[in-house]
Amino acid sequence: MSPTYDVIVIGLGGMGSAAAHHLSARGARVLGLEKFGPVHNRGSSHGGSRITRQSYFEDPAYVPLLLRAYELYDDLARATGREIAILGGGVMVGRPDSRTVAGALRSAREWDLPHEMLDAREIRRRFPTLTPRDDEVALYEKKAGLLRPENTVAAHLQLATRQGAELHFEEPMIRWEPYRDGVRVHTAEDSYTAGQLVICPGAWAPRLLTDIGVPCRIERQVMYWFQPRNGVRPFLPENHPIYVWEDAHGVQVYGFPAIDGPGLGAKVAFFRKGTETTPETIDRTVREEEIRAMADHMSGCIPDLPGTFLKAATCMYSTTPDEHFVIARHPAHPDSVTVACGFSGHGFKFVPVVGEILADLALTGTTAHPIGLFAPARLAAAPAPGART
Ligand SMILES: Cc1cc2nc3c(=O)[nH]c(=O)nc-3n(C[C@H](O)[C@H](O)[C@H](O)COP(=O)(O)OP(=O)(O)OC[C@H]3O[C@@H](n4cnc5c(N)ncnc54)[C@H](O)[C@@H]3O)c2cc1C
């Protein structure tokens, strides 16, 4: 008896919704199973905005994937008519030898990406909202900007459904097992068979992927929205760029222009100051002292931003020891199972190209995209990432 589906996708958040789209676009019979409803706010793909940029300070190896992701994001906007990206430019700010600036410059040079280097005076002249110290510089990238995570997930789900994928919400996978040449997946409602399984569990990776040897630390992260002190106009996308800003101690903050209309403010967050948590126990309440610490930090670099605190929301990172992703065939089930996890707080800008890679791996067993950096074997002996302050 042949299996009911070609591919079952577990988790329909950022990565899984993109996989469901790319698989069904190639004619595969797809079943998607999601623990919560469509486009929810309990994982890692919510909060109204995500930064995208090409001069990638994390590693130049990501650049070809970013170039492809930009094309696919364009296709997605065109195919669905949704607002997916606002590319108003961005700056990576810090001392010249900081990871943020030196790393971005390395990627820009290695891949010949259009960019400009700005000294502190030029940063202040072009972007009057930003007040860098005299020893800080910026790499400016015209193509940087922001993505709309909820619209992206909704667009991928919409296309997948249109292409015949069957998507079940509020139906978590309980377990799976190898079955004949493929897999069998169990939920509380039913069990399903397929030739291939694609697991995109986000912050549930430590629970669902215990057997791939990836020590993944789940972190509680907070996003803050402030109403700027002197009105929102200087913070509109035409005046205020997205930024990643590293201080002399290596602490990075990032933020966005005011994109949601007057009164809804501009969003800012610390990049990596998370605390360890689990999806079951995460504290969704944001404390007064956390808000004060964020406002204090911002008054040093964007003094007009922390005018009035509007709201905050929590989200989860799934961080690997080297902060690189895990995208691969399952080491113990290389013929039938593909995994994508450990996106370490910087995965959203890659969502559509990860969908394409997962479809390649599930349907052909291989991909032409460069994913060597994401092999789980590199982490086999690594300890779980330690607590950061
Ligand atoms: C505050 C914050 C800011 C960020 N900023 C940026 C940024 O500026 N730029 C950037 O590129 N990236 C950013 N990221 C990272 C990026 O958003 C994530 O890497 C990305 O969203 C991860 O997608 P995912 O599909 O792995 O996880 P998710 O979108 O959370 O999807 C996982 C899904 O699996 C489902 N699931 C879990 N268990 C089961 C089960 N048993 N059965 C069925 N379904 C299940 C979950 O319900 C969930 O829907 C940020 C993340 C956070 C939290």
The domain spans of the chain are 5-45+150-213+322-379, 88-147+217-319
Per-residue pLDDT tens listing for the chain (389 residues) = 678 999 999 999 999 999 999 999 999 999 999 999 999 999 999 999 999 999 999 999 999 999 999 999 999 999 999 999 999 999 999 999 999 999 999 999 999 999 999 999 999 999 999 999 999 999 999 999 999 999 999 999 999 999 999 999 999 999 999 999 999 999 999 999 999 999 999 999 998 888 888 899 999 999 999 999 989 999 999 999 999 999 999 999 999 999 998 889 999 999 988 999 999 999 999 999 999 999 999 999 999 999 999 999 999 999 999 999 999 999 999 999 999 999 999 999 999 999 999 999 999 999 999 999 999 999 876 655 653 33
Annotated binding residues for FAD: 6-36
Residues having CB within 6 Å of any atom of ligand 1 = 10-16, 33-36, 43-45, 47, 50-51, 172-173, 200-204, 208, 221, 223, 269, 315-317, 343, 345-349
CATH topology classification for 88-147+217-319:
D-Amino Acid Oxidase; Chain A, domain 2 (3.30.9)
Beta strands in 182-336 (DSSP E): 182-187, 191-199, 217-227, 242-246, 252-255, 266-270, 275-276, 308-319, 326-329
Instruction: Using the structure block, give the residue that is written with the tokens 């493929």.
Output: 182
Q: How many CB atoms lie within 10 A of CB 116?
A: 13
Q: How far apart are CA 26 and CA 159, in angstroms?
A: 12
> Are 14 and 149 a contacting pair, CB within 8 Å?
yes
Site to substitute for ligand 1 among 12, 42, 44, 278, most atoms within 8 A of C-beta = 44
Q: How far apart are CA 103 and CA 97, in angstroms?
A: 9
Q: Given the CA of residue 15, which atom of ligand 1 is nearest to it? A: 25
Site to substitute for ligand 1 among 348, 357, 358, 374, most atoms within 8 A of C-beta = 348
Q: Given the CA of residue 153, which atom of ligand 1 is nearest to it? A: 29
| Pure H helices in the chain | 14-25, 63-80, 99-110, 120-126, 149-162, 205-208, 288-301, 351-364
Evaluate whether the domain defined by 5-45+150-213+322-379 bears CATH number 3.50.50.60. yes
